[in-house]
Structure 1
Amino acid sequence: MTLHIPFDNSYARLPDPFHSHQPPTPVQAPSLIAFNHDLAAELGITGTDDPQLASYFAGNMLPQGAEPIAQLYAGHQFGQYNPQLGDGRAILLGEVVNPNGLRRDIQLKGSGQTPYSRRGDGRAWLGPVLREYVVSEAMHALGVPTTRALAATRTGQDVIRDRPLPGAVLTRVAQSHIRVGTFQVFAARGETDALKTLFEYTVDRHYPQAQDPSDLLQMVMDRQAALIPHWMSFGFIHGVMNTDNCTLSGETIDYGPCAFLDGFDAHGVFSSIDRRGRYAYSAQADIIAWNMAQLATSIIPLMPDQDRAVDQFTKQINAMPELIRANWLSRFAAKIGIASPAPDDETLITDLLILMHKDQADFTNTFRALVNDTGRDQFVDRAAFDSWRARWQSRIERETAPDTIMKQANPAFIPRNHRIEQMIDAAVAGDDDLFHRLNRVLANPFDDQPDESDLAAPPQPSEVVKATFCGT
């Protein structure tokens, strides 16, 4: 049966300044590593037993109805504005609308050079492709809004980074790839007509209830103010929260140097390119407000009274930290069994995190152990934990189902950094077993899965991952 993707490509119908028409570059010997059949069914894709599946998702063949484009955007990278970025190694094949009416992009990542490659080769190597596949699908299983992985394909040819490495292509699915940087590029160029077109397109696609740019800003802020505490509740550090990696849909996008905390460290940094800790674990709440301020600046030209808009947008941005704090409190209260937190509960949560930081207690396992009341085993200073536990027990006596709340908020399994690195090393050597095992186990992260308990264990000292790297 021939692969059929029900394309309806609205972004490709936007004017040329928004994108460049660009087919993917064929590869030498495509071979499929993984294909997400459940996601394909959700998207209405049929014919997934097509023997040419690897060729389609490596870019050697175009599915009928695809209109491949590379999208234009700009962005602040580590606080420095870059006036033109764009898809330097990605091609948007097109969009599909599933039976529930949800429109989603299908994009090939690592599919060759585009007009925005800026001297890059446009390719991806195997490690980042597998990392994004595993982590994005794990985030989805955790309930975090995220892009997803439809396929991973080897190319049969090497790419050159610090050494030759096996190439691969990821097929990514997103509600859209509209970024803060997409608005920034037209605002910076003074192209108000294009900016208005983008605003209208974004509202139609994601926020049909928005009446004006102020509404759009608030709705995007609301989603982002919910997203970042959701990340933090699982110990996730994005690592590269540039404005070009910040979506208007409120999804997590781009998993290059991402990582998860092992021992709790509020200032944890893993990304090798984040030398000053701009995107550290605890800094993510501040950075998302900064990113939203850049979005606000970009849409001011759409307002009829721009001086008044500056005042209005400033008030909205200044209110964002409290939105984030409320979402943070809700997420972390659930982790200790509290359904409807009061302001005083923040102290109880913070005191536990301080103890965890002091003893470098494992973030995921400590919270999971609270479900079985075995948290004491995670600490060196057990007397200090016992004192905290007495306060906690007194508090959750007022809750009706704290164990259920905690089990739903505290996974047994996350994509451990050392397991991801082990998976990549094995795959480079031709062994994909750990990749498939991680996907299977992480699809049900809140289940105990006792036969897989080694994947829940923190790293041994020799296994600790101190730095993660982008795939470019």
Structure 2
Amino acid sequence: MKLINTFATELPWACEPVVPQPLQDAQLLHLNRDLLAELGLAEVSDAHWLACCGEGRPLPGMQPVAQVYAGHQFGGYSPRLGDGRALLLAEQQAPDGQRWDLHLKGAGKTPFSRFGDGRAVLRSSIREYLASEALHALGIPTTRALVLVASQEPVYREQVETGATVLRTAPSHLRFGHIEYFAWSGQGEKIPLLLDYLLRHHFPELNNGAELFTEVVRRTARLIAKWQAAGFCHGVMNTDNMSLLGLTLDYGPYGFIDAYVPDFVCNHSDPAGRYALDQQPAVGYWNLQKLAQALAGHVDDAALAAALAQYEQQLMLHYSELMRAKLGLAVWQEDDPALFRELFRLLAANKVDYHLFLRRLGEVTQEGAWPASLLALLPDPAIWQAWLERYRLRLASEGSEDGARKAQMDAINPKYVLRNTLAQQVIEAAEQGNMAPFERLFTALRRPYDEQPDYEDLATPNPAWYCGGELSCSS
């Protein structure tokens, strides 16, 4: 273990020291042992992780701080947010030299808690733990989960729940909102220092703020393209939840779509659908505009505008690459946009399961009957005949080979997806003290593309009673 406190020592004006508060009857529920080993933390004992993450006793060398930032929340600016229930405990320098934040969520009140209690609940902690590992396994940049702790401490949300903590890690938890806070609080002189910190520690290959913003635009565009292709809805794309490193950050009422619903809303606090699935690309651009406004005066205006102008092309190019791969198409052809538009129209009109359709589409062959497993997903297979024939002709036009194409499609279309119904079943079991369903789901999600006969029940369509509805922001 090699703990350092670069953020706390180099940017003391961007954080406040805080002592984590112990949970009542804290209990260690899960350790991500593979990731702990990767970070050089395997030798830390279970008892020490419980003490650190549940009993308010940081490990030697940790200097816990709460970071300050602001953000645009649902379009309105909130001038002072910050880590209201999370602490940067320290940074671990891994064996390969990479620096990793150790960020504890649910550790109690901080100077930025406002009227909150600083706690997280078991429900949301399990959801974040599972989702961050699921997205990582899908190749989507994200924070990751290290430690999960539960307790008997009552926490009041929409109902009484129990408190929990999750220790998450990432190279950095710096957000758009960090820049916004110093831009709009009369402390603009701190922004060059933040940019210097980012360049030295996270973007050493870049030379200045203009190059940094260009890279943030590129990473954000590619991240959202991956979300769209994966059918993942973040749910709360406020600027304080947007990572400057292009990571999926702050899991709240997220949701993977089941049936293809382009305007899917996973957050019941978003009745207008600002953060609906099909709005995420536009919101990403809007958020980058707000970041550019905060950087104005510190980065050349022309450079900011030029970087923003690249956003749509970056997103669409990457999304097109991903979707062609998901359909097993090796090259772009002029008629592909029309092929995709008709596919999405049919998926939406027939409420077809997005993930299972793409997975089973890989079973289509150049000749012969359509796969029975694919037809079973379609309420009226007859209306799909024209598109399927068109798809088969498209495959033939590039000389696609059935076996190789299926292997390639299976490697990008997951069989195992963190559907909300699966997460809810795991949460209900854990609340009753049964972690076996969590362990099964966690294991399956780490190999989402593989055939795993022991977990076949986790890959079936959702039960009829589940409609992929909205979730609460409360956590």
Structure-2-length-normalised TM-score: 0.94
Residue 386 of structure 2 is matched in structure 1 by 387
- Cα distance between partner residues in 2 of 1:455 and 1:350: 30
Residue 72 of structure 1 is matched in structure 2 by 68
- Cα distance between partner residues in 2 of 1:316 and 1:67: 37
Q: How does 1:190-339 map to 2 (within 5 A)?
A: 190-303=186-299, 309-339=300-330
Q: How does 1:52-451 map to 2 (within 5 A)?
A: 52-303=48-299, 309-373=300-364, 374=371, 375-397=374-396, 398=398, 399=400, 401-451=404-454
Amino acid at match of 1:372: E
1:329–1:346 Cα contact (<8 Å) kept: no
Query: Quick one: structure 1 residues 319 and 158, their matched pair in 2 at CA, closer, same or farther if it must change by over 3 Å?
Result: same
- Report how far residue 125 of structure 1 moved: 0.8
Range with greater deviation from structure 2 (108-117 or 405-414): 405-414
Amino acid at match of 2:392: Q
- Cα distance between partner residues in 2 of 1:90 and 1:314: 34
* SS of residue matched to 1:23: coil
1:416–1:455 Cα contact (<8 Å) kept: no
- Cα distance between partner residues in 2 of 1:92 and 1:9: 9
* SS of residue matched to 1:462: coil
Pair 1:9 & 2:5 matched: yes
- Cα distance between partner residues in 1 of 2:70 and 2:26: 32
Gaps of 5+ in 1: 304-308
2:440–2:455 Cα contact (<8 Å) kept: no
C-alpha deviations, 1:314-342, integer Å up to 9, x for none? 23213311211111101111110023334
- Cα distance between partner residues in 2 of 1:59 and 1:218: 42
- Report how far residue 101 of structure 1 moved: 2.2
Residue 458 of structure 1 is matched in structure 2 by 461
Query: Quick one: structure 1 residues 258 and 107, their matched pair in 2 at CA, closer, same or farther if it must change by over 3 Å?
Result: same
Amino acid at match of 1:391: R
- Cα distance between partner residues in 2 of 1:349 and 1:50: 50
- Cα distance between partner residues in 2 of 1:339 and 1:112: 51
- Cα distance between partner residues in 2 of 1:192 and 1:167: 38
Query: Quick one: structure 1 residues 59 and 84, their matched pair in 2 at CA, closer, same or farther if it must change by over 3 Å?
Result: farther
Query: Quick one: structure 1 residues 416 and 59, their matched pair in 2 at CA, closer, same or farther if it must change by over 3 Å?
Result: same
1:59–1:111 Cα contact (<8 Å) kept: no
- Report how far residue 50 of structure 1 moved: 4.3
Amino acid at match of 1:239: G
C-alpha deviations, 1:276-306, integer Å up to 9, x for none? 1111111111111111111111111213xxx
- Cα distance between partner residues in 1 of 2:133 and 2:284: 23
- Cα distance between partner residues in 1 of 2:435 and 2:59: 27
Aligned positions, number = 463
Range with greater deviation from structure 2 (160-169 or 70-79): 160-169
1:25–1:111 Cα contact (<8 Å) kept: yes
2:416–2:458 Cα contact (<8 Å) kept: yes
Amino acid at match of 1:207: F
Residue 368 of structure 2 is matched in structure 1 by none
Residue 306 of structure 1 is matched in structure 2 by none
Range with greater deviation from structure 2 (423-432 or 233-242): 423-432
- Report how far residue 214 of structure 1 moved: 1.6
Q: RMSD between aligned alpha carbons?
A: 1.5
Amino acid at match of 2:454: D
- Report how far residue 433 of structure 1 moved: 1.7
* SS of residue matched to 2:296: helix
- Cα distance between partner residues in 1 of 2:11 and 2:45: 36
Query: Quick one: structure 1 residues 191 and 156, their matched pair in 2 at CA, closer, same or farther if it must change by over 3 Å?
Result: same
C-alpha deviations, 1:425-459, integer Å up to 9, x for none? 22122222211111011111001223322211222
- Report how far residue 161 of structure 1 moved: 1.3
- Cα distance between partner residues in 2 of 1:71 and 1:54: 23
